[in-house]
Amino acid sequence: MQNEWFSEIKAVSEAVLEDVRLYNSNSLLLPLFLIALLFLWVTEKDKNLRVVLLYLVAAIGAVFVCPVYAWVGMKIDAEIYYRVLWTLPIGILVCYSAVKLMTYFKAAVSRALVFLMAILVIVMNGDLVCTNSFHIRSVNAYHIPQQVIDVADALKLDNYTPIAVLPAELLPFFRQYTADVFTPYGRNILEPSWNFQNELYNAMEGDNTAYDVEEVARCARDEHCAFVVLSCAKQMNGSMEEQGYFLFRFVQGYFIYMDYSYYWVYKEQGLLDADVIEAGG
């Protein structure tokens, strides 16, 4: 029992060290942070600043590397334990240390040199974010793909909040734009570690090349979806019209189908917009 405990603590400690290594990557970020922390520990006299910038920061760092706390934290969610490091004000500490170091010099030239060296060190330890493959030029004020906005606007009703099922590629952005359309599942289902399961999601995404239209329609009705959004990049094995749907709109490469059973109910209750009534009529 004791050997198992020590083995588990050892594994947790190794995981913590790996988190630190990945967080620092190939930079001098953490060494700069430790140098700044040591510099302020020696030079900072203001008691309030010492509490905020030194004692609290040192306590957070100690807690993060503490094997017992790490063991508890990783039992809760090992995938996000590294985010404790986000609470360390590394940028504030390094920049404040650089400014404080400048005040030790009286000559303007000396201060300028310290300033330039600090900027150079910071720049050398970073990357230009715009070169990252995940960064693309924004095409709208929301900084999300335009097709998400167009699909969401097509689905929204003035007098009712419908339920719509979406292709997986739209899920990470959809809720950033609107809460006026319900979905049977969200972006959380895309995370394998969370182990979310949904029959409709499996019907939508189980085949990367084609939709089993009959299965999608059945599962969508089980989830009370009025709208089904399908990508034109995938083939359809079957016809949505044969399943009791009509094509409401084609938007940015996505077919938006509405279930006729919901159409008639919503129409009788006066919940549909004019364009939906026109498309269904």
Structure tokens at 195: 């182990």
- Cα angle 101, 90, 130 (rounded to 5 degrees) comes to 105
Highest mean pLDDT among 25-39, 184-198, 209-223: 209-223
Yes or no: say if 70 and 16 are a contact pair by the CB < 8 Å rule.
yes
pLDDT at 58: 92
| Terminal alpha carbon distance of the chain | 71
**pTM, full prediction:** 0.67
Q: Report whether pLDDT(1) > 60.
A: no
Cα–Cα distances in angstroms (integers) from residue 105 to residues 11, 98, 111, 114, 269, in the given order: 47, 12, 6, 9, 77
pLDDT at 236: 94
pLDDT at 130: 67
Query: For 258, left (φ over 0), alpha (ψ -120 to 50), or beta?
Result: beta
**Nearest partner of 153 among 42, 44, 275, 6, judged by Cα:** 275
Q: Where are the beta strands (DSSP E) in the chain?
A: 164-165, 210-212, 227-231, 235-237, 245-251, 254-259
Average pLDDT value for residue range 182-194: 85
pLDDT at 264: 92
Yes or no: say if 191 and 168 are a contact pair by the CB < 8 Å rule.
no
Residues present in the chain in total: 281
Q: Report whether pLDDT(131) > 70.
A: no
246-272 b/e with 16+ CB inside 10 Å = b? eebbebeebbbbbbeebbeebeeeebb
Q: What is the pLDDT of residues 217-273, one digit of tens each?
A: 999 999 999 999 999 999 999 999 999 999 999 999 999 999 999 999 999 898 888
pLDDT at 125: 78
Provide the mean pLDDT of the chain. 88
Give me the phi and psi of 192, to 5 degrees please.
Answer: -60, -35
> CA 61, CA 87: separation in Å to the nearest integer?
9
Quickly tell me which residue has 């504030």 as its tokens.
Answer: 92
